[in-house]
């Protein structure tokens, strides 16, 4: 069981299963959405995710049709991504515990910020991750 919460602690959630496919996206949209050098995001099973408190403070920003980010209207932390109204991933920065998963790859490093220094040895893609299928 892992838990997460926003900066002010008003909104809390738990995830009962394992996170999947942790990644970091360095595109200009993610930099702004996460107020950081990149996103840090992993997928969850919707059935394993549950809000514990503060859901009335959640605000949704629709990023594209069917997709959105949800954040705390009090402190501004970005907590999760939704697809058709259902939580499909969480931001790693709001986790309280070690999720037993590491960021596996970095995408859109071709458009990373000029000021960002990427760590050595990480797996990077200039754009999206090529499909392995």
Task: Tell me which residues touch Zn ion (CB under 5 A).
Answer: 6, 8, 10, 25, 27, 30, 72, 74-75
Contact 81, 58 (CB under 8 A): no
Contacts (Cβ under 8 Å, ≥6 apart) of 108 = 25, 26, 27, 30, 125, 126, 127, 128
From the number of C-beta atoms within 10 Å of its C-beta (0-12, 13-18, 19+), residue 47 rates as exposed
Of 74 and 129, nearer to Zn ion (C-beta) is 74
Q: CB of residue 86 vs Zn ion: minimum separation in angstroms? A: 20
Q: CB of residue 65 vs Zn ion: minimum separation in angstroms? A: 17
Of 2 and 27, nearer to Zn ion (C-beta) is 27
Of 30 and 92, nearer to Zn ion (C-beta) is 30
Q: CB of residue 41 vs Zn ion: minimum separation in angstroms? A: 9
Of 10 and 70, nearer to Zn ion (C-beta) is 10
Q: CB of residue 29 vs Zn ion: minimum separation in angstroms? A: 5
User: Taking Cα atoms as reference points, which of 86, 50, 55, 95 lies closest to residue 71?
Assistant: 55
């Amino acid at each position: 069981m892992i838990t997460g919460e926003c900066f002010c602690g008003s909104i809390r959630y738990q995830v009962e299963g394992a996170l999947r496919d942790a990644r970091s996206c360095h595109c200009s949209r993610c930099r702004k959405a996460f107020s950081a050098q990149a996103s840090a995001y992993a997928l969850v099973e919707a059935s394993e995710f549950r809000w514990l408190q503060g859901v009335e403070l959640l605000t949704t920003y629709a990023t594209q049709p069917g997709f959105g980010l949800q954040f705390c209207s009090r402190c501004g932390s970005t907590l999760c991504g939704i697809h058709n109204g259902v939580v499909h991933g969480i931001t790693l920065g709001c986790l309280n515990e070690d999720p037993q998963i590491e960021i596996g790859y970095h995408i859109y490093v071709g458009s990373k910020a000029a000021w960002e220094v990427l760590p050595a040895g990480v797996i990077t893609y200039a754009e999206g991750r090529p499909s392995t299928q």
